[in-house]
Structure 1
Amino acid sequence: MHVAVLLYDGFDEMDAIGPFETFANAARAGAGCEVGCYTLESADRVTASHGLRVEPDGPLPDLGADDLLVVPGGGWNDRDRPGAWTEAERGAVPGAIATAHEAGATVATVCTGGMLAARAGVLDGRPAVTHATALEDLREYADVVEARVVDDGDVVTAGGVTSGLDLAVHLVEREFGADVAERVRTGMEYEPAGEVVTR
């Protein structure tokens, strides 16, 4: 499985780095996955919402049925700065999400990354969650579920910020089994904090 974390200016650091580290630890624990951070176009550096600068691995590769696209949020409600709102309005990120999903990739969103998936049409009429401050916006597209993580098969959404860790640990267990997930949780000294709703 290729786990591709999609970065853009203004993404929330923890939304992306938490899942990245979780899947990297899963690979070290024997999971058949590789993880990287990508942008839509070649970029030497991406600046996150709190100022962290990241050197991406390259442009987003083509993803297929055995792959996972992780979409972080950040900046949905601060609409004068780079972030999820800006990317939703530009349309390129939602377009890339739709393309990956149509090609068979699983889409996993953290925080207001869920709004980017909503704009992509991926959440239409489906159960989903996002950051608490964007739930009313999400209701225009999805069946909002009050949960930490919502697993609807080929689309998995998580609430705000730290719930990205819960999402990633859940997906590690779903895809690679309980033993790998336990090794990851033990190594990270992390136990998921809330409910996972599976539909």
Structure 2
Amino acid sequence: MNIVFVLFDNVTQLDFTGPVQVLSRLPGAHIHVVTKDGKAATTDCGFSILPRSGFTQCPPADIICVPGGHGVRDAIADETIVNFVRTQAKSAQYVTSVCTGAFILGAADLLQGKQATCHWAYTQLLPLFGAIHQSARVVRDGNLITAGGVTSGIDFAFELIAAISGDDVARSIQLALEYDPSPPFQSGSLAVASDEIVANLRARVYQKAAADMESAIRDLI
């Protein structure tokens, strides 16, 4: 099973490294990490990721996964990236995204009329691509699976493994990776974070980030 991860500059590394670590354990998985030209993709953590190949050397995907990051603003305007995702999605068994990677799926016309999610700070932008936001950590609509922000990609990967190979395989991989979250704080979602923390984070980071993303999307539509 060919699992293709599409990377681009300024990608959020955990959007990619979380699900790829899990999905690489799927029986029969062949991981293909690709960038447009086969060159390394920069991340939001100060290091780069060396892909397996460029788009032209990539086989047809059984599963295609598009992570997010601030680089999405440029990626949705890159016809080579968008066309690659659109073409790969036509024959893929599952089309997936993590965080704002959903907007690349949207640019490829893959969200129209679909239930979907993304990072909480950007969910109001999903309707710009014709998507219907569903408030959940992982949302499945047919063969489309979208995950919320960053760490949600790990949960999505386990759900996908269960759908393909069964719950016991997913449970075994979960144990092998010792995925047993017990965060020190209850502040990981809008449902539990304090109003003050949400307001401060929006003002400090996400008001501008969401406005910039909206501007980039509106330039396309």
- Greater shift after overlay, 130-139 or 10-19? 130-139
The SS at the match of 1:25 is coil
1:55 matched residue in structure 2: 50
TM-score of the aligned structures, taking structure 2 as reference length: 0.77
Query: Is 2:21 the counterpart of 1:33?
Result: no
Distance 1:34 1:186 in 2: 21
1:1-199 → structure 2 map (5 Å cutoff) = 1-26=1-26, 31-43=27-39, 45-60=40-55, 61-64=58-61, 67-75=62-70, 83-140=71-128, 141-191=130-180
Q: Number of aligned pairs?
A: 180
Amino acid at match of 1:98: R
Distance 2:105 2:135 in 1: 18
Structure 1 contact 20–36 (Cα < 8 Å) conserved: no
Structure 1 contact 166–192 (Cα < 8 Å) conserved: no
CA gap of 1:146–1:4, structure 2 versus 1, over 3 A, is: same
- 5+ residue gaps, structure 1: 76-82, 195-199
The SS at the match of 2:175 is helix
Question: For residues 37-73 of structure 1, what are the alpha-carbon distances to aligned partners after superposition, in whole Å with 9 as ceiling and x for unaligned?
Answer: 1112221x22112222111101231315xx0011000
The SS at the match of 1:112 is helix
- 5+ residue gaps, structure 2: 183-187, 189-221
Based on CA coordinates, which of the two structures has the bigger radius of gyration?
Answer: 2
Q: State the Cα distance separating 1:98 from its structure 2 match.
A: 1.0
Q: State the Cα distance separating 1:102 from its structure 2 match.
A: 1.6
Distance 1:126 1:192 in 2: 30
Structure 1 contact 10–49 (Cα < 8 Å) conserved: yes
Question: For residues 20-49 of structure 1, what are the alpha-carbon distances to aligned partners after superposition, in whole Å with 9 as ceiling and x for unaligned?
Answer: 1101233xxxx1212131112221x22112
Distance 1:104 1:90 in 2: 21
Distance 2:29 2:146 in 1: 20
TM-score of the aligned structures, taking structure 1 as reference length: 0.85
Distance 2:67 2:92 in 1: 19
User: Where has structure 1 moved over 6 Å in runs of 4 or more?
Assistant: none
Amino acid at match of 2:14: M
Q: State the Cα distance separating 1:120 from its structure 2 match.
A: 0.8
Structure 2 contact 65–96 (Cα < 8 Å) conserved: yes
Amino acid at match of 1:51: G
